[in-house]
Structure 1
Amino acid sequence: MSTTTITVSGTEPYDVLVGRGILDRLPELIGPNAQKVLIVHPPTLGARAAALRESLVGDYEVLLAEIPDAEAGKRVEVAAFCWQVMGQADFTRTDAVVGFGGGSVTDVAGFVAATWLRGIRLIQLPTTLLGMVDAAIGGKTGINTAEGKNLVGAFYAPAGVIVDLDTLTGLSQMEILAGFGEVVKYGFIAEPEILDIIERDVDVATDSQSEEFRRMVELSIRIKARVVGEDFREAGLREILNYGHTLGHAVEYAERFQWRHGAAVAIGMVYAAELGRLTGRLSDEVVDRHRSILTSLQLPIGYPAGRWSTLLSVMKRDKKARGSMLRFIVLDDVAKPTTLTGPDESLLFAAYQEIGI
């Protein structure tokens, strides 16, 4: 099978390799200078991580760091555990960290690599759809605190990313569908072809073995690569990637991080669409398209009406805010994102009433 190479440009360019059965490309990205490699992985990938380790032994000293899956792993105590493993093994600045797992694992592995000796080589091997199209690409790393999601972190570019679609084998369909929250986001902010593929046949689109699925993954990665290549530190253009995330992150916090990220972002996108409609930017047709596409993917489009005060307080702490001023990415139309700065709270509440259940 062919491998697609997508380059993320910028001051520290790197390649994202997309294909099937391509984990054997990992030594190319680790490089010849490393002596030690730390593979950070969740419990569910213990056997695969051990096999990956065996494939590297002989060329490197390879250690495994098993961390909790999902948001439970994104804690400072988990990062400290990884630092301890590296310290006891005498990791130097020429050694490497590999993030092998979903988006939460790659976030933590990236943060560990960025902070150990102020930065060592990082390779990301995402094994979920969310990780492949979003978390593992772009150099955002981070952990959560009691006050919110991703409030502590660093921008740190990996040496490379391997998107091996075969690693999705064995994932539940619910896990695949959750990752589509981010895929749909790319469709609405930049690439209508993604929306067309889903609307044409949702079953084919969500089959990880189909060419349509691979096409959407590659389109999503190309969008993210272009955006982060132009704006690595989220000073401007990169903010469009936060479509649906301001309310989405608040929902995740309110649910004590028990919800899948894609499900929360789905609600956030419908909310942002309603904001766009109420400000006269977005047509009824495009708002309805949000609802129909996300519903076809079995993703939620509403949230309990009585939770507004909690969500608003969390959004005010959002890292995208500027002082006390909230900022939302909204649409003027499909593939026409813009920023809504400092909207009146009555408008925010009115939009929330449109998604309240």
Structure 2
Amino acid sequence: MAVLNHFSACGWSLQDVENELTGQFPGLAALYGTPQRQARLLPYEWTKAQSLTAANQVLQKRLPRSHRKKSAPINNTSPTLTTGGAGKLSSAGIHQLVNDLENILYAVLDHRLQAKGRQGLSLRLLIRGLLGYMRAKETDVLDVGCRSLAVAMGKHHVTIARLLPILAAVSDGILTKIVDARHKAADVYLIQLPEQYQQLARELTWQKGKIHAIRPVFRALGDAAALVYEAIERGRHFPRTADLVRATGVSRNACSAALAEMETLGMVQRQGHTWKTTTVNLRMLATRLGVMDDYLDQISRNRNERAAWHAYLDRFLTPKVKETDLFDPERDEYWLPPDDAAIWHAA
């Protein structure tokens, strides 16, 4: 009855409700059990819903204007005003969505992007950066600029601007641009779990660990090393070199070279035929390699370029007219007619 009352308040007809029972609201039809019970109860309950809606409208008209509530429908064609609960995910819902998307990333999307070669490495790390922003901001609608993503990726912002449309095209509905950039606002992207992946996401187990784009140390070591280190770090067991090649999609030569370099730096350690990460501080290691200076320089450069762009846009804004520009406080802006007696005396 609550659902029928809502439809009645929105201006629906009984025919509209019956049409949607086999469309976007099959759950409502399931509540009736059988088609015979639905055919018997639905017209009766719809009449009750319409009576309740009419009574509420009469009550609203009798109330003083200050006590009236804003009604969702204005007329039969007006859209229903949402309460905010259905369209916005909670904080816990966002984290669960990111966990499901990570499962789809590792199970499906990573393997699809492996076929794109070196570009695929950047695309795989870019989607990781977007999921990291999604978890940090606790929202599925991201308006992160290319320069901010470039800092997280260790790349030029022009490269990010080129990769984002490609990622949206190959993500199979996971990443969708919903608003184009305008003035100071960046492109707005929606990250969601498509319907074709929902069952798979529920069947897979959430993995431990935090997802990263490019940590500063991998600015010096490269994208392949970042993916190999992630596979060791997030693996359920200590992997062998063959397991890392299969999990990351990186060639065996590139994987072996990355492992040798990271072992020299003390980031990973070999145990027999398997690999594991060590307790080395990656930020201190990045400072020792001189990467943090480049990281901070990129942040400073982006800040200066963003300020210059905003200053350029502000030149085209219409300046606000001050009150002193319209009126002179020391000048009378009105005219008094002459006295009738003075006019008669002059005549």
TM-score normalised by the chain length of structure 1: 0.23
More helix by share: 2
Larger Rg: 2
More strand by share: 1
